[in-house]
A and B are shown apart, each in its own frame.
Chain A
Amino acid sequence: MEAIPPLARWFHFMAGIMWVGLLYYFNFVHVAALKSAAADASAAGINRHVTPRALAWFRWASVATWLTGAALLGGNFAAAFALQPGHRAIGIGAWLGTILLINVWALLWPAQKIALGLVEASEAQRIAARRRAFLVSRLNLALSFPLLFFMGAAGHASAYF
C-alpha cells in the first residue's frame, strides 16, 4: 500500500504531461498547421492520420491524469475539493483539472466528433462544431496555466503562500 502514492505521483506526472502537452500541441502547433495546410490543400492527410490519434491520446490521458490525481489525494480527496484549510492550493488545482476533464469529454469530444465527420451532421453543424471545439480548447489552454501553477505550488506551499 505504501507504494501507491509514489506510483500514483509518477503516473500522474506522465499522464499529465501527455494531456497538457497535447493540449499545447493542438493550440500552439496543430491549429496553425491546419490553417496553412488548408491553403495548399494538404489538410486532409493531417485530419485523417494525425488528428484522430492525437485526440485519442489526449482524451484518455485526461482520464488517466484525473484518476491518478484522485489516487494521489487519497484520504485528502474530500478536503481538497471542499477547499478546506491546508488543502486550498491543491483543491483549486483539483477543481481546475476536473473542469478541464469535463470540458474534454462533455464539450470538446462531442464537437470534435461532428467536426471530423465521425457522426452525421450538416455542413452548417460541422462549421458550428469546429468553432465550439476551437473555443473550448482555447479555454482549456487558459485554464491550464493556473492548473499547473497550483499543482506545482501545492507541494511547496511555504515558498508560494
Chain B
Amino acid sequence: MKNPLDSLPATVVCGLALTLALYLVVRYAIGS
C-alpha cells in the first residue's frame, strides 16, 4: 500500500480527516 504522506493532496486529506475526527471526539465524546 502506498504511503499517503508521499502525496501532497492525500496528506491534506489526512490532515482534514484527522481534524474532523478530533473535533467529533471533543464535541460529542469528551466535551470541550
Contact = CB atoms under 8 A, between A and B. Distances in A.
Chains A and B bind each other: yes
- Interface residues of A: mostly helix, strand, loop or mixed? helix
Interface stretch (A47-55, A109-117, A143-151): A143-151
Bin the interface of chain B by size: 10 to 19
Contacts of A85: 31
Contacts of B5: 135, 138-139, 142
B14 A89 contact: no
Contacts, number: 58
Contact of B27 (A28, A146, A161): A161
A153 B30 CA distance: 16
A88 interface: yes
A135 B6 CA distance: 7
Interface in B1-32: 3, 5-6, 8, 11-12, 14-16, 18-19, 22-23, 26-27, 30-32
A142 B18 contact: yes
A28 B8 contact: yes
Contact of A142 (B15, B27, B30): B15
Interface residues of A, number: 24
Interface string A22-48: 000001100000000000000000000
B26 A89 contact: yes
13 contacts: A85-B31, A86-B32, A88-B32, A92-B22, A138-B8, A142-B11, A142-B12, A142-B15, A145-B16, A146-B19, A146-B22, A160-B23, A161-B32
Interface of B: 3, 5-6, 8, 11-12, 14-16, 18-19, 22-23, 26-27, 30-32
Interface of A: 27-28, 83, 85-86, 88-89, 92, 135, 138-139, 141-146, 149-150, 153-154, 157, 160-161
